[in-house]
Amino acid sequence: MKHMIFASMLLPGAMMVCQAATLSFPEVPAAKEQAAKEGKPCLVVWYGSDWQPDIAAFCKAWESIAKEHKDSFVFGQFNDKTGLKTDVRKKVLPIEHYNIPAVVLLAPDGTFMAEYDGAQVSRNQQKLMPKLLKLAQKAPEFAKLAESARQTTGEAAATAAGKALELLPAQFAVRCGSLTSVIRKEDPDDKTGYKALFAMDHMAMYREINGLLNGGKDGKLRGKERKFDEAEAYVRKVLKGKLMGEKKYRHRRQQWLAGLAYVLKERIVSTSQPENRDTTPIVNTYRELIKLDPDSQYGKGAKRMMHYWSKDSVTVIKNNFYYSGDQTLGFEKDWRVDVTKSIDGPGTYTFSLIPVDNGGMVTRNYRLLVNGKEVAKADAPADKNTKSVQFEVPSIPKGAKVEVQLTARCNDGWFGCSGHIEMKKN
């Protein structure tokens, strides 16, 4: 996938400010030509839009760095002359950026290697330079492999492209469109393993899986003869790849574990009744994903999904309204509703769930908890309408947390788990 810099219409203003601040690097085409001639990697600096603060300080800092590291890099700048021409944007600097200062590292042959932006480019340049210098040492080997990828075909080309991308940090490897496109074109069946590792983003992975599941062209999965075994075998084969197990590619592994969970979910939903579903394989897959990096985008998403699919997890509701995001469609789970603020001394209280549009929700097994300990029970008929039960609430210690815990199952997709909650003293 190619990425591009999108220049703001304010970019000419930014250029005037930076020219006054004496940023004197050559433009991208000239810098690339010089880098190729001298056999050095090229650092392209972009200072962002004219509304960026402290542009003068930014330009001064990078002028100083350029003098200090002139033997290691050829420095160039991205400006209005290259930024406002679509053809040049696509061919000269194939990355994506929106008005934020950035530094892009190119190999001597002009191939994208890395991009850093934001505060580390604007304020922490000296901390950034060791990373760039370390990557620059790999530039000759990277460029050689990239050239080999362009000059050969088939698996040999994909292997050369993949080996080049292995030299880069994972977050940059997947953005090197000139090499990932070689892998997709020359190794469509992914015999090298590099397609899954570098050349398939989130949506491309799911398109591939849906194709194996006999999904329609519109992305919707249809038909009774779903090829779950083939899809699962494909994803598991990817996950067994040697490189996929390396720590630096853990986020790519997380992506494919999410794909595995997707296949498992499709199988369970399509082949079993809600009351008979064993969601353990799904939960275990999400648990493995989270363990790799709980704070990544995939890790945070997996936490939510694991909570949904784990029958042992409890949905906590802290206000007087529940909504579709709380639903446990098709199987039972426990809810805990915080009613502390509704308790005004001991007595008989009525707890009610009032669904929106008479949603198809079945509830049972109501319990009253004080600081997590059960102190009273109630029962309710398993109907589809308003659910009301009564509790004899004892004297509650000051500062204690009071909750109603119930078992709920939603049989309706959207409004089935939406409504109001009341806890009133009789």
Q: What is the CATH number of the domain that holds 370?
A: 2.60.120
Query: How far is C-alpha 365 from the chain's CA centre?
Result: 38
d(CA 239, CA 13): 49
d(CA 249, CA 196): 11
Residue 242: Cβ within 10 Å count: 7
Q: What is the pLDDT of residue 397?
A: 93
Are 9 and 131 members of one domain? yes
Query: What digits encode the pLDDT tens for the residues 67-119?
Result: 999 999 999 987 654 443 444 445 555 555 556 788 999 999 999 999 898 88
Q: Give bridge partners of residue 421 from the DSSP assignment.
A: 353
Pairing of strands 314-317, 373-378: unpaired
Higher pLDDT, 399 or 333: 399
Of 137, 157, 191, the residue that ends a domain is 137
Of 308, 339, 373, the residue that ends a domain is 308
* Residue 162 covered by a domain: no
Query: What digits encode the pLDDT tens for the residues 345-376?
Result: 999 999 999 888 766 788 889 999 999 999 99
Helical pair 202-212 and 228-239, crossing angle rounded to 10 deg: 140
Rounded average pLDDT over 35-50: 87
* Residue 176 covered by a domain: no
Query: What digits encode the pLDDT tens for the residues 167-219?
Result: 999 989 998 989 999 999 999 999 999 999 999 988 989 988 988 887 655 55
* Residue 251 covered by a domain: yes
H helix or E strand, kind and range, residue 392: strand 387-393
Are 81 and 62 members of one domain? yes
Query: How far is C-alpha 244 from the chain's CA centre?
Result: 17
Are 11 and 124 members of one domain? yes
d(CA 110, CA 92): 8
* Residue 193 covered by a domain: no
Are 20 and 128 members of one domain? yes
Domain range for 81: 5-137
Residue 384: Cβ within 10 Å count: 15
d(CA 157, CA 155): 5
Are 123 and 79 members of one domain? yes
Residue 340 has pLDDT above 90, yes or no: yes
Q: Name the nearest CA neighbour of 147 among 175, 179, 173, 193.
A: 179
* Residue 160 covered by a domain: no
Residue 6 has pLDDT above 50, yes or no: no
Residue 52 has pLDDT above 70, yes or no: no
Q: What is the pLDDT of residue 393?
A: 95
- Give Dmax over CA atoms of the chain in angstroms: 87
Of 260, 286, 308, the residue that ends a domain is 308
Are 278 and 332 members of one domain? no
Are 333 and 300 members of one domain? no
Are 342 and 399 members of one domain? yes
Please report, for the chain, how many H helices and E strands are present, in that order.
Answer: 17, 15
Are 124 and 27 members of one domain? yes
Are 334 and 290 members of one domain? no
Q: What is the pLDDT of residue 382?
A: 65
What does pTM read for this prediction? Answer: 0.76
Number of domains in the chain: 3
* Residue 184 covered by a domain: no
Percent of the chain with pLDDT over 90: 53
* Residue 144 covered by a domain: no
Are 16 and 46 members of one domain? yes
* Residue 400 covered by a domain: yes
Are 296 and 355 members of one domain? no
H helix or E strand, kind and range, residue 59: helix 55-68
Pairing of strands 347-355, 387-393: antiparallel
Query: What digits encode the pLDDT tens for the residues 295-312?
Result: 999 999 999 899 888 888
